[in-house]
Structures are given as structure tokens and as C-alpha cells.
């Protein structure tokens, strides 16, 4: 009998991957990470040989996908999942020469400025990127003209308080980091770091969310019932792509990197009064 799990005509690239491999290695998330990765990649100019930062890559399935599908080099960077575990997945995929596992916090990245051709993030960015100062930090790692793209759980319109009754049993404080495409577009554009090229929602994203949850976490009734009841009114998936502006002005004092020190400007002076 044919295994039709995770097959979707909307996502032909992702459908080629074994459902057992995806389900074993993907974090739970709001949807199949390969569906979101394919959707996000559609809006980006990925070319062979590019250096890509996959930020919040989880167990590196999106990094493996990018390297295989687009012949790019990927720095698979995550805080919650170990670089050693990801290295084994990468080795089994035969991609040791193109995917490099890194254990790091998104707020303290061990990379040189303007090292990457593009930055890619699936179902992760909302954990840290809502900070008004964060893009001032992250944008410094991509070359001028390079793209930053994010995709993941989000809202169709901004949430108001109190939370609608049909979402109350599911909503927790961390979900206030979810925002609409228009919110993210404004959040990025106002920084002057990037020009926003795409800010949209995945068509029938709530159905993708529901399909994934029923498969990976059928016992998670509060989330499944909330998405069912919402039926796309509030919950969905958001994609945003911006391109670093040539005139982007970065202010180090806005987001001092804990991995580097401020320049030492010490000048000797008498300790005590004469």
C-alpha cells in the first residue's frame, strides 16, 4: 500500500522526502517544516553555492532540504538541539561538505559580519525577532542586497485582548509573540535595515496546521480543537522576506553582541586628587 502521508501537490519538493524521516526528525511546530521551507524558498533568490544561515533550524531538516534542493551551503544553527545530533543527521544525508551544525543563541551568533548571502528561518523567528532592536543585530550578518526570510505560525489579523473564547483553552502567554504578516512587514520596514519584498499568509495555512498536528501530536487536543474552531479566522502561517538595504545603518549600541567587546578606549589618569 502506498504511503500518502505528507504528500501535497502544493509542495512537490517536500513530498519527495520520506514521511518517516520527516516525522522522526522534525520538531513538533505548527506545520511540516519542509512545507514551510519550500514556501519560504519560493520567495527567495537561492542560487547554487550561496552561504545560508538557517536560524533556529531545530534538528536540521530544513538545512538538509535547502542544501539538497538548491545546492547551497547551510550553517544549521540552533539553541535547543545539539550540534552533535544534527551532525549525525547531516552525515547520514551525505551532506557533511555543505551543511555545518552550530549550537548558538540567536542573540549571540558566532559569525563574521556580512558572511551570509541570505538568512532563512522556519517556525523560530517569533521567539526572538519581535524585539525592536533585533533586526539591527541580525541584518549585519547578511551581505548588502542579501535576503532575510522567515515563515511560521502567525495570525491573519492582530490579536486583541481578551482572547476570543474559541482560542482561550489553547492560548498561552508565549503565543503573544505571534503576529500578522502586515505587523511583521511594518516591524521590519521601520528599522531601515531591509526593504520588505513579501509579507503574506499561506493559503489554507490553518488546514496545513491541522493536518500536521493530527499526524504528529494527535493527543494535543487543545491545539487541534482551537485550530478546528478557528477555521482560518485568526490562525495561519506567515511569510516575510526582506532585502538588506545598501544604505542600512547599524548601531552597535542598540544590540551589543555578548561575544565581542566594545573597543578599549582607556587612557591613563591619576587615580586620586593632587
Residue 264 is predicted with a pLDDT of 67
Does 85 reside within a domain?
yes
Does 176 reside within a domain?
yes
Does 272 reside within a domain?
no
User: Taking the CA of residue 167 as centre, how many other CA atoms within 13 Å lie in the half-sphere pointing to its CB?
Assistant: 19
pLDDT digits (tens, 9 = 90+) for 7-54: 999 999 999 999 999 999 997 788 999 999 999 999 999 999 999 999
6-9 LR contacts (CB < 8 Å, sep 24+): 6/32, 6/34, 6/215, 8/35
User: Taking the CA of residue 213 as centre, how many other CA atoms within 13 Å lie in the half-sphere pointing to its CB?
Assistant: 19
Q: Output the nine-digit C-alpha cell for 55.
A: 536560524
pLDDT digits (tens, 9 = 90+) for 233-245: 999 999 999 999 9
Helix (H) / strand (E) element for 76: namely strand 73-78
Does 104 reside within a domain?
yes
Would the pTM of this model clear 0.85, i.e. be above it? yes
CA 207/CA 218 separation, integer angstroms:
15
Q: Facing residues of 239 across strands?
A: 151, 200
**Of 156-165, 188-197, 223-232, the least confident:** 156-165
How many domains, in total, are found in the chain? 1
Does 112 reside within a domain?
yes
**Of 248, 258, 254, 252, residue with least CA distance to 133:** 254
Does 267 reside within a domain?
no
Angle of the 221-230 helix axis to the 205-216 helix axis, nearest 10? 160
**Of 36, 40, 13, 255, residue with least CA distance to 147:** 40
Residue 71 is predicted with a pLDDT of 98
Does 154 reside within a domain?
yes
CA 152/CA 127 separation, integer angstroms:
11
Does 7 reside within a domain?
no
Specify whether the CB–CB gap between 40 and 27 falls below 8 A.
no
CA 257/CA 69 separation, integer angstroms:
33
Q: Which domain holds residue 243?
A: 12-254
Q: What is the CATH number of the domain that holds 233?
A: 3.40.50.150
pLDDT digits (tens, 9 = 90+) for 250-272: 988 888 777 766 666 778 889 89
State the sign of the Cα–Cα–Cα–Cα dihedral 147, 153, 158, 162: negative
Amino acid at each position: 500500500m502506498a504511503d500518502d502521508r505528507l504528500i501535497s501537490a502544493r509542495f512537490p519538493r517536500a513530498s519527495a522526502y520520506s514521511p518517516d524521516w520527516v516525522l522522526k526528525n522534525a520538531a513538533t511546530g505548527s506545520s511540516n517544516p519542509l512545507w514551510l521551507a519550500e514556501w519560504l524558498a519560493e520567495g527567495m533568490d537561492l542560487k547554487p553555492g550561496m552561504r545560508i544561515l538557517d536560524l533556529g533550524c531545530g534538528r536540521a531538516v530544513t538545512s538538509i532540504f535547502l542544501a539538497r534542493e538548491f545546492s547551497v551551503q547551510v550553517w544549521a544553527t540552533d539553541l535547543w538541539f545539539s550540534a552533535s545530533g544534527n551532525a549525525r543527521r547531516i552525515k547520514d544525508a551525505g551532506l557533511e561538505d555543505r551543511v555545518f551544525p552550530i549550537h548558538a543563541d540567536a542573540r549571540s551568533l558566532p559569525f563574521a559580519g556580512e558572511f551570509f548571502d541570505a538568512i532563512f528561518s522556519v517556525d523560530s523567528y517569533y521567539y526572538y525577532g519581535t524585539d525592536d532592536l533585533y533586526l539591527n543585530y541580525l541584518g549585519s550578518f547578511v551581505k548588502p542586497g542579501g535576503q532575510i526570510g522567515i515563515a511560521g505560525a502567525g495570525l491573519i489579523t492582530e490579536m486583541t485582548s481578551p482572547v476570543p473564547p474559541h482560542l482561550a483553552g489553547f492560548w498561552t502567554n508565549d503565543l503573544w509573540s505571534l503576529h500578522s504578516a502586515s505587523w511583521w512587514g511594518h516591524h521590519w520596514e521601520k528599522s531601515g535595515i531591509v526593504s520588505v519584498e513579501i509579507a503574506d499568509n499561506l493559503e489554507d495555512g490553518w488546514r496545513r496546521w491541522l493536518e500536521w498536528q493530527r499526524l504528529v501530536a494527535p493527543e494535543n487536543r487543545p491545539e487541534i480543537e482551537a485550530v478546528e474552531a478557528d477555521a482560518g479566522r485568526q490562525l495561519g502561517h506567515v511569510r516575510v522576506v526582506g532585502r538588506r538595504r545598501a544604505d542600512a545603518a547599524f548601531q552597535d549600541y542598540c544590540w551589543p553582541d555578548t561575544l565581542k567587546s566594545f573597543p578599549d578606549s582607556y587612557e591613563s589618569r591619576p587615580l586620586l586628587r593632587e
